[in-house]
A and B are shown apart, each in its own frame.
Chain A
Amino acid sequence: MTATATTSLVRRSVNVVMLGLTAVCAAVTVAALLFILAYLLYQGGSSLNIAFFTKLPTPVGEAGGGMANALVGSAKLLALAAAIGIPLGFMAGLYIAEFASPMPAFALRYATDLLNGVPSIVIGIFAYTLVVLPMKHFSTLAGGVALAIMMIPVTVRGTEEFLRAVPASLREGSLALGAPKWMTIARVVVPAASRGILTTVLLGLARVAGETAPLLFTALNNRFWSRGWVEPTASLPVMIFTYAIAPYEDWVRQAWAAALVLLALVLAANIGARVLFRRPAATTS
């Protein structure tokens, strides 16, 4: 009788302790995000003004100025990363999911995972060797290539995963109507997977939008507007890096503002992706 009561007590206290522990850990996770948001709002909010979005950076000592060039630079880098990385990654994912036999598919999937694990600084060095050295100067192009390489594995795995998730019954339904395989893929399988693929791609873009290391020696930085694709360019992450470690109070405040803007954009893309491409509820009968 007492033995049972003791075990019961032990069991219940272990339950309380473990439950508490997991709850605290969950709270810490959320708190980290909330803390970052609140701190950025507090530090950066006051430095944020219209000039930040419309003006170029000012020389040291001169007050005011903004990061319009960095905003445009980041947008161009991301556009390039998307234009190169998404088609490549999508086609590769399509190949792995629909056409490759098991062994090559396994090898390709493994290689993609490895590429995904390559430190971003190493990808920067690779893009440096590939683009900057032959062209002999830093450029938007080089930065875009570096970010594109980071987009490829994300897109490949997202595409493959969501194509595989398309029920076999849909493929069979199409094949049974006399549709060839390629048409089945183009008209039934890919459209059915498109929501998931677009979500992954958008989340991937939001992820690389904050990458700094691969841009340091590819896109470098630029205090002025970067024309075309072959000049060095400013970007939000590199601007934050440069300004945050500068010894000027004015620059540090601008770095906070830039960090706030970057985080806001990334969060917006994240939330946007999830809302826009959310599966319509209850599709099964």
Chain B
Amino acid sequence: MAVRTPSPIARSGFDRGSSQADASAPRPVKIMAADLSLFYGEKQALHGVTMNIAANQVTALIGPSGCGKSTFLRTLNRMNDIIPKTRITGAVTVDGRDIYTPGLDVVALRRRVGMVFQRSNPFPKSIFDNVAYGIRVNRMASSRGDLNHRVEQSLRRAALWDEAKDRLHESALSLSGGQQQRLCIARALAVEPEVLLMDEPASALDPIATQRIEELIYELKREYTIVIVTHNMQQAARVSDVTAFFWLGKLVEIGPTESLFTNPREKLTDDYVTGRFG
């Protein structure tokens, strides 16, 4: 049966000074979940998940539908708060600080821990206003010029600038599906988060748009800590450094992506990654 496995990252702790190129090298812990359980009313969706997420790495969460991977992702910026009757036990810390402590500023947390959703959800506003939204809401721009600069930087980092620069004031809904998703990434980056949560960001996209998103994720991990939920195991294998396998609301196994896919410790993981179920 599923057991909580301490991650190799947890064991290596705060060992800094590893080379950026080596994906399996230990990195400082950015997010830590300790014995985290979540209930929707009576139904328990997460069962005592304990997991460390390292900074400047891509951590992929995989598992069959309904296994709790998206729910877990949403506990990291408290997006589950807006669903009525949710309750959690255990703790989640970001940079060592408990984010479920009473009185914590959820709005400030969500600025630090940004999110990109499964279905691209641009606001029915212009491309510019979509990216500017978070900057304006958080009063980050000191002037009109600064705002323009930040919008441009965000669009560049999301690899959308070249396609969008001549149509910034057109409706965001005029963009293609893949462009809309990159716009949503740009919008999330605009508020300068430290962590980027991505909930199946490419599942509604065609292969070419998916590839662009994956390249983007690879670029972004130099500056951000990325946690990505994906249904697509090839995608997890391609983009992530660490993979966590969820099953029935439990964390079954977490480890360096390569070893989890080629040499999993748990039978369940093996069955899943080889396609015997799910």
Contact = CB atoms under 8 A, between A and B. Distances in A.
Interface of A: 167, 169-180, 183, 187-188, 191-192, 280, 283, 285
Given A174-B123, A187-B137, A179 B107 contact: yes
Given A177-B133, A177-B188, 18 more contacts: A169-B119, A171-B82, A172-B82, A172-B121, A173-B121, A176-B117, A177-B111, A177-B114, A177-B138, A177-B187, A177-B191, A178-B108, A178-B137, A178-B138, A179-B107, A179-B134, A188-B123, A192-B124
A175 B82 contact: yes
25 contacts: A167-B121, A169-B121, A170-B124, A172-B79, A172-B115, A173-B117, A173-B123, A175-B82, A175-B110, A176-B77, A176-B79, A176-B117, A177-B133, A177-B187, A178-B107, A179-B133, A179-B134, A180-B107, A187-B137, A188-B123, A192-B123, A192-B124, A280-B173, A285-B120, A285-B173
Contacts of A172: 79, 82, 115, 117, 121
B154 to A, nearest CB: 12
Contact of B115 (A176, A183, A192): A176
A170 B171 CA distance: 15
A248 to B, nearest CB: 56
A283 B124 contact: yes
A187 B82 contact: no
Question: Which of under 10, 10 to 19, 20 to 34, or 35 or more describes the interface residues of B?
Answer: 20 to 34
A191 B124 contact: yes
B121 A179 contact: no
Nearest to B108: A178
B199 to A, nearest CB: 10
Contacts of A167: 121
B180 interface: yes
A167 B133 CA distance: 18
Specify which of A171, A178, A285 lies most central, judged by the most chain B CB atoms within 10 Å of its CB: A178
Contact of B137 (A169, A179, A283): A179
Nearest to A180: B107
Contact of A174 (B111, B114, B119, B133): B133
B18 interface: no
A267 to B, nearest CB: 29
B274 interface: no
B211 to A, nearest CB: 18
B236 interface: no
A246 B154 CA distance: 72
Contacts of A192: 123-124
B176 interface: yes
Contacts of B138: 177-178
Given A188-B123, A283-B173, A285-B176, A176 B114 contact: yes
4 smallest A-B Cβ distances: which pairs?
Answer: A178-B111, A177-B134, A169-B121, A176-B115
Contacts of B91: none
Interface in B190-213: 190-191
